[in-house]
Structure 1
Amino acid sequence: MNGIYSDQTKLYLTPEEPIVGEKVKIRVRVPKYLGKVLGSVYVTPEKNIKKYRNIKMKLIKETELFVYFERSFIMPDRNIHYHFEIELLDKNQKIKYDAMGLVNKRSIHNFVLIPNFKTPEWSHGSIYYQIFVDRFNNGDKTNDPVNDEYIYDGKKIIKKEWNELPSQENGHREFYGGDLKGIMDKIDYLKDLGVETIYLNPIFVSPSPHKYDTQDYENIDPHFGKIVEDTEDIKEKYKVRTTFKSNLKASNSLFLDFVNTLHKNNIKIILDGVFNHCGSYHKWVDELNIYDDGVKNNKNSKYKENFYWNGENYEGWWGYSTLPKLNYSNIKLREYIANIGIKWVDNYKIDGWRLDVADDLGKSKEENIEFWKFFNKKIKSKNKDTIIFAEVYKSPLEWIEKKSWDSIMNYITCMDPVSYFLTGIEKHNDSINESLFMNSNEFIKSVTHALSQLPMNSKFIALNQLSNHDHSRWMTRTTRKIGRINTIGHEEAAKDIDLDVFKIGIMMMFTLPGSPGLYYGDEIGLAGWTDPDNRRPFPWNEVENNKILNFIKKIISIYKKNNALRKGSFEFLNNDGGYLSYGLWNDEKKYIVIINREEIEKNVNIPVWLLEINQGKANLLISNQETNQEELNFNNGNLNFIAPKKSAFIFELKY
C-alpha cells in the first residue's frame, strides 16, 4: 500500500521547529488510488504517551496523484507525540502511519515535536571532515614529541617518521608530529575539496596521540600548538612543554588564530569533548607527579570528590586505571565541566562539541540526561548556533526529547547498515554477517527504524560516516576480509579492495539523511584496519591526480548545488535482494538513487510516481561507473532501468 507519506520537513510540518504558542500545521499525503479516504491524527502529551486524542484532519489540497490532509494547533509547552490514521471508506479499513511508515504488526513509533528545540541552520547537512591531528600534517617540527620524552602506559613514547605505519603494540604511544599549523597549511586543500565543517579529535593537553585521556581541559596541547619554552633535560622536557604557562598561552593563542582563519574561509569547527573520564596524568590525579595535590600522590587531595572510589583506588572507565571516571554527583564538577564547554565556545568561538561516549557519563541514565541537559543549556546561552552531538550507538530519542543533545554520530543510520548491506563486514573488520550482506529488506528495516529515533531536524545534523578513528577504514571493509594488523598485517588492508563498492558506499553516505562526514584520507582511498591502523599518517604524495579524490570532489559539488540532497524528504521506492532505490525531494527538485550491489545486472522498474511525477526525464548527476545512460525517459509513473552489477546512480527528475 505505497504512497502514504509524511515527515517533518517543511512540506509536511510548518514551522519545522515550533516555539511555544506558535501555530503548527502537520500534513499527511494519501494516494488517490486508495479511493475515498478520511484522515485523522492521534496526538498524545509527553506525560501520558498512552492516552491519545483523535483529531480529524481537513482535506486541503489535491494533485494529479495525491490528496493532502492537514491539521493545525497551537504548540503547547510540552513534547507532542503523534501518528496518523487513514480511513479507507471504500474498503471499510483503517490504516495507521507513523515515523517508520505504515504500521503493520508492530508497535507505534510516533513523530515527536519538541517545543523551542532549535538546531543551527548551518549544521543541516553540513559536509564534515574529521581530522586525527597527529596524523594529518606536520606544520611545525619544533613542537614534535621526541623519543623517550616521557613514559606512557609503562613505556617510553616513540617519535616515528611520516612514511612509517602504526604498530599494533605501540600505536597508542607513537607520535608523528601533526599539529594545528599543519591543518592551517592545508586549508586551501580543504576548501578545494568542499569541506564545510572540521571535526577534530581531542586537542587538549594529553600524553597520548589520540588524547582521549585528558591531562588539562583548560589548554591546547603545545605538541599541537606552540612551544616557546623548552629544555634539553629529557627528565624535565614533558613537564616544561605541557605545564609552563608560556607554552600553554602560546598554544591557546595559536588555536584562536586557527579558528579565526577557518571562519574567514567559511569553515566551522567542532571539538571533541571527553567528559566521561579524564586521564591518569590529569592534574587531579597526577600520575607523573608534575602538578600539586593529585589523588595519586595525596589520598586527601581536594580533588578526591571528582572521582568514584573502590576502597583506596579510584574507579577507571571500563576498569582502565589510565582513564579515571568522573563523578557527576559532585555539583562542583558539573559546574566546572559546563564552564569548560562555555570557555571554548565563548572565548575561542568554536562552533560545537562532539561528546565522547556520551551515554556512559555518570552512574544512571537520569543523572546522565540531566547533566547533558544542563551542559546544553549553558552552552546555548552563550551561542544558540552551537551544535552538540553525541557519540552513541543506540537510539538517542530520550536524550533529544529532553534537549540534552542536538543529534548523534549516526552509526545507526549510516555506518552499520551501509557496511553490512554492501560488504557484510562489521565496522571493526572483526566479523562477517552473511545474512545482512545484500539484504535490502534488512537494510531498509534498520534505516527506517533509526530515522524514527531522530526527531525533528536531528536527522539532518546527525554525522554520517563510513570511517573514523574508532573503526576500520571503509576502503578496507570493501575487501570483505576479517583481520587486524597483528593477524594478517598492514599490506592486506589494501589488497583486494573494491573501488566500485567503495564509491557506492560514499554515494549512500551523501544521500541518506544526515550530514556526510569524511575521515581524513577517505577522499584518496586510504586503507587501514581498526585502531591503530585506521590512524595512518596522511600520504600527501598520493593526492595529485588521484581518481578517487576527483570522484569525491564531484559528489561534494553535486551535493552542495542540490539542497534536496542536503535536507529533503526521503522515501525508499523499491528493492530486491542487493538492489534498492530511494527518492529525495523538496518543493523544487526531485532525485532518485539506484543501488545495485549484486554481481549481476538488474532490470528494475522504479515507481517514481511516489515523488509525485508521472512522466519526464531522468538526468544523470553521478555514477560510480562509466556509463552512457546520461538521460532516461519515463512515463506512467515508472522508470525502467537496467542497473549494471555493482553500480550506483543519482538521477535528477525533470518534468
Structure 2
Amino acid sequence: MKIEALCHIPKSNYGYAYKEKELHIRFRTAKNDIDKVEIIYGFKYQWENNKKNEMKKILSDEYFDYYQFNIVEEDSRIGYYFKLTKGEKFIYYTEAGIVDKFNDELAYCYYFQYPYINPIDVHKVPSWISETVFYQIFVERFFNGDVKNSPENLSNWDDMPKPHSFFGGDLRGIIEKLDYLKELGVNGIYLTPIFKSPSNHKYDTVNYYEIDPFFGDESTLKELVERSHELGIKIVLDAVFNHCSNQFPPFLDVMEKGKESRYFDWFFINDDLVKTDPPNYKMFGSVGCMPKLNTSNAEVKYYLLSAIRYWTENFRIDGWRLDVSDEIDHHFWREFRVCVKEMDTEVIVIGENWHNAYPWLMGDQFDSVMNYPVTKLCLDYFARRLINAKQFEYSLSSLLIRYSDQVNEAMLNLLDSHDTERFLYTCGERKEYLKLAAAFLFSYKGMPCTYYGTEIGMTGCYDPGCRKGFEWNEEKWDKELLDYYKKLITLRKEEKALKYGNISFLSTDSVFIMKRTFKNETIMILINTTDKEAGYCLKEADKKSVTELLNGSSWNMAEQSTICIPELTAYYLKLV
C-alpha cells in the first residue's frame, strides 16, 4: 500500500456536516491501490455498538481515488476510523496514525471524532439552487428601454465597444425583455453593478445607496424585481466592496483634508496626504481611480452592511455576487453573511474567487463562488482542445473533491462572462464546440449560467470586445443555437437527475462520460469532441430502455447496448 497517499482531515472537505443529522466522510488513497476502504463508526458514548460499512469510491483523478460514506444518525457525537484492505493485507488508519491492530477498548484515544453537529455550524445553502438556471446581464449593453435617462454622446448600438463608450442599456431595458428571458427558460438573473458610478461597467461605486441615474431609479429596480418574481425569476445584484470610485465622497474628503479627514482610515494611504501620480494608496489592481476600502474599519463595515440591508430588505433581492471577494478580509465576510442570513436565509451569497476558494466556503462566509476553474477546464477541453476526455474528467474530480457537496450544488458554473473572452471567440467561431460545452454545462452539478448573447451566437475578444450590445436583430441570430440552448435549459429544469443527481464519471480518452443518478433515474451524458465517430457500451444491467433526450430517439437495451457517438456530438441518454 502507498501509505504516503492516504489522507483524511476531520472538520474539512474530508469530513463535514451536510445536514443537522448527516455527516459526509471522505478518504483518499493512491489511484488503483486499495481494494476496499471501510469506515468503523459509532456513538462515542456507546462505542460497543459501533458499525462497519464499506465506503464508495466516488471520484478519481490522475493520482488519487476518493471514497465517501454518509453517516445519518440522531446523535451526531461520532467517533470513527478506517480499515484499508489490499489483497490479504489490511491496516487501520486512525487519528494517531496507521496501525496493524486496533484496540476498540481504547478507541477514544485513537479514533477521529466529530464532536457535535451544532445547527448553526451547518453550511446551509438556499433551497432553490438546484432549480435555478442563471443568465448574466451586463446592464449597460443589454437593451436601452428608456432613452430619456441615457448618457450624452451615445455610441450606436451596433458599434464595437471601446473601454469608455456608453450605449444606453438600463433597467427598463431588462424589464422590456423579460418575456425573451422567460421564453429562453432562465429563472435567475445576475446583474453587473447598478449603483451610481462614472463608468459604463459600474465597478467603481460613487454612492452605494443610489441607483445609477443612467440605469433608472429605485422605482425601476422595484418594478424589475416584482415583475421578475411574478415570472418566477430571481434577481442577484453585484456588490463591489473591495474598492470604490475616486469620486466616492469619503475619498474626495481625504484628498482635500489628508490625515485630518474623518474618513482617512477608510482607505490605505501611505502618507499624510493623498498623491495620485503615482498613487500612494492601495487600489484595485493598478487602477488609481479605484481606491481600496478598509473593510476592517468599523465605520466602513457599518456603511457597507447598512447598504446591503437597505437593498435586500426594501427590494426583496434574492442574492449578492461579491466582486474581488478574495481580496477582502475574512472577518468582514463573516459579518456580511450574518447580516444577510438574518434577513433571509434564502438569499444567496456568491463570491468572485478565480482559484481555490475553500477558506471562504466553510459555511461561515459564502454559499458558493463563480466557478472559473471549471470555465478554464471547458476552454482547454472544448475550445482550445488541449486536453482529452480523461484529463478533463480527472480535473473535474479534483475540483469536486475540493468542496463539500452542498457547495458543489450551489456553484455558479459559466463558460464566459464580462471578464473573459466570449466562449465562441475562443472556439474560433466553431459553433459545434460551444454546443458541446453547453451540453456539459447544463448537465453538470451546480447552477448553470449563460452570459447574455452567448445563446444567439454573440462573439468577441476580451474586454471590451466581450461587452458588445445585445444583438436584437433576430435576422442575425443563430436560431439553431438558440433552439439548442432552449432545449438544454428545458431538460435541466425538467429532469431530476440533472438537477439533484449524484455525479460520477466513466470517460475514455476520446469520449467524456458523466453519469447523473437520482433515486431510480439515471442520465448518461456522452460527449465526443473528436473528429471521429466513437463507441461506448452501456453497462447498466438493471435498465431496460434508453431515450436520447436531445433528439427524442429511444430503443431497447437488449437490442442495442453499444452506442455510436458521431463526431462533435453530445448525447443525454436517459436509462429507465
TM-score, normalised on structure 2?
0.81
Write the letter of the residue equivalent to 1:447: L
For residue 309 of structure 1, the aligned residue among 259, 266, 269 is 269
Q: 1:633 to 1:117 in 2, by over 3 A?
A: same
C-alpha deviations, 1:437-474, integer Å up to 9, x for none? 24223212211111112213111111111011000111
Is 1:336 the counterpart of 2:295? The answer is no
Question: Residue deviations 1:411-449, cap 9 Å, x none?
Answer: 12x21111101122xxxxxxxxxxx72422321221111
Looking at structure 2, the residues matched to 277 and 387 of structure 1 have their Cα atoms a distance apart, in angstroms, of 22
Asked whether 1:215 is paired with 2:206, we answer: yes
Match of 1:138 in 2: 144
| C-alpha spacing 1:339/1:632, structure 2 compared with 1 (3 Å) | same
Tell me how far apart the structure 1 counterparts of residues 295 and 131 of structure 2 sit (CA, whole Å).
33
Give the whole-Å Cα distance in 2 for the aligned partners of 1:408 and 1:40. Answer: 32
Instruction: Specify the SS of the correspondent of 1:310.
Output: coil
Q: Is the 8 A contact 1:220 1:252 kept in 2?
A: yes
Partner of 1:433: none
For residues 211 and 36 of structure 1, what CA distance do their matches in structure 2 show? 55
1:75: Cα distance to partner? 6.2
Identity of aligned residues (%): 31
Q: How does 1:104-503 map to 2 (within 5 A)?
A: 115-147=121-153, 159-166=154-161, 171-225=162-216, 251-286=217-252, 294-299=253-258, 300-311=260-271, 312-313=273-274, 314-361=281-328, 368-412=329-373, 414-424=374-384, 437-479=386-428, 497-503=429-435
Q: Hey, what's the Cα distance between the residues in 2 that align with 1:279 and 1:352?
A: 23
Contact 2:529 / 2:568 at 8 angstroms: preserved in 1? yes
Structure 1 unmatched ranges of 5 or more: 1-14, 29-33, 46-53, 62-67, 97-109, 148-158, 226-250, 287-293, 362-367, 425-435, 480-496, 624-628
State the Cα deviation string for residues 356-402 of structure 1 (Å, max 9, x = none).
110111xxxxxx22210110011100111100010101122122115
Given that 1:407 and 1:458 are in contact with CA atoms closer than 8 Å, whether structure 2 keeps it comes out as: yes
The answer to whether the Cα contact below 8 Å between 1:369 and 1:402 also exists between their aligned partners in 2 is no
**CA distance in 2: counterparts of 1:224 and 1:321, whole angstroms:** 25
In structure 2, runs of 5+ residues without a counterpart are 1-15, 28-32, 57-67, 94-112, 275-280
Change (3 A) 1:85 1:178: farther
* Letter matched to residue 400 of structure 1: L
Is contact 1:459-1:514 (8 Å) kept?
yes
1-structure distance, mates of 2:331, 2:434? 40
Change (3 A) 1:179 1:41: farther
* Partner secondary structure for residue 364 of structure 2: coil
Are residues 615 and 329 of structure 1, via their aligned partners in 2, closer, same or farther at CA, if it must alter by over 3 Å? closer
Give per-residue Cα distances to partners, 1:521-557, cap 9 Å, x unaligned: 0110111111100000011113678221111111111
Distance in 2 (alpha carbons) for counterparts of 1:75 and 1:283: 54
Give me the whole-angstrom Cα distance separating, in 2, the residues matched to 1:643 and 1:38.
35
1:564 equivalent in structure 2? 497
* Distance of 1:285 and 1:60 partners within structure 2: 57
Which residue of structure 1 lines up, in the alignment, with residue 7 of structure 2?
Answer: none
CA distance in 1, matches of 2:79, 2:321: 28
Query: What is aligned with 1:65?
Result: none
> 1:331 offset after TM fit, Å?
1.4
Change (3 A) 1:42 1:336: farther
How far the C-alpha of 1:648 sits from its partner, in A, is 1.0
Contact conserved, 2:17 with 2:123, CA < 8 A, in 1? no
* Residues 55/619 of structure 1: CA separation in 2 closer, same or farther (3 Å cut): same
Contact 2:548–2:571 under 8 Å retained in 1: yes
Change (3 A) 1:57 1:302: same
Instruction: Please name the residue that 2:549 is paired with.
Output: 621
Question: Quick one: structure 1 residues 173 and 616, their matched pair in 2 at CA, closer, same or farther if it must change by over 3 Å?
Answer: same
Letter of the structure 2 residue corresponding to residue 588 of structure 1: N
Partner of 1:631: 554
Residues in 1 aligned to 2:83 and 2:55: alpha-carbon distance in whole angstroms = 16
Q: Secondary structure at the match of 2:404?
A: coil
2:390, 2:507 within 8 Å by CA — same for their partners in 1? no
CA distance in 1, matches of 2:566, 2:55: 42
What is aligned with 2:110?
none
Whether 1:540 aligns to 2:531 is no
Alpha-carbon shift at residue 175 of structure 1 (Å) = 0.4
Aligned length: 510
Is structure 2 residue 535 aligned with structure 1 residue 529?
no
Q: What SS does the aligned partner of 1:622 have?
A: coil
What letter corresponds to residue 371 of structure 1 in structure 2?
Answer: F
CA distance, structure 1, for counterparts of residue 366 and residue 269 of structure 2: 29
Report the alpha carbon displacement of residue 641 of structure 1 after superposing the two structures with TM: 1.7
Render the CA deviation track for 1:586-628: whole Å, top value 9, x for unaligned: 103100011111111112334x44xxx44422210016xxxxx
The answer to whether the Cα contact below 8 Å between 2:321 and 2:350 also exists between their aligned partners in 1 is yes
> 2:565 is matched with which residue: 628, 639, 643?
643
CA RMSD of superposed structures (Å):
3.4
1:26, 1:72 within 8 Å by CA — same for their partners in 2? Answer: no
Counterparts of 2:244 and 2:38 in 1: how far apart (Å)? 53
Seen in structure 2, the aligned counterparts of structure 1 residues 85 and 472 have a Cα distance that, compared at 3 Å, is farther
Structure 1 pair 356/37, CA: closer, same or farther in 2 (3 Å)? closer
Cα offset, 1:633, TM superposition: 3.8
Tell me by how many angstroms 1:558 deviates: 1.1
In 1, the alpha carbon distance for the partners of 2:72 and 2:454 equals 46
TM-score normalized by the length of structure 1: 0.72
Give the superposition deviation at 1:165. 1.2
- Structure 1 residues 521 and 347: CA distance shift in structure 2, 3 A: same
Dislocated runs of 4+, deviation >3 Å = 22-28, 34-38, 58-61, 68-77, 80-88, 90-96, 110-115, 632-636
- Paired residue secondary structure (1:392): coil
Q: CA deviation at 1:42?
A: 7.6
> 1:565: how far off?
0.4
Q: Deviations over 1:95-119 (max 9, x none)?
A: 99xxxxxxxxxxxxx9998833211
Counterpart among 532, 546, 550 of residue 483 in structure 2: 550
Is 1:589–2:521 an aligned residue pair? yes
**Aligned-pair CA distance for 1:76:** 5.5
Asked if structure 2 preserves the Cα contact closer than 8 Å seen for 1:438 and 1:579, the reply is no
Q: Give the deviation of 1:340 after TM superposition.
A: 1.5
Say yes or no: does 1:40 pair with 2:7: no
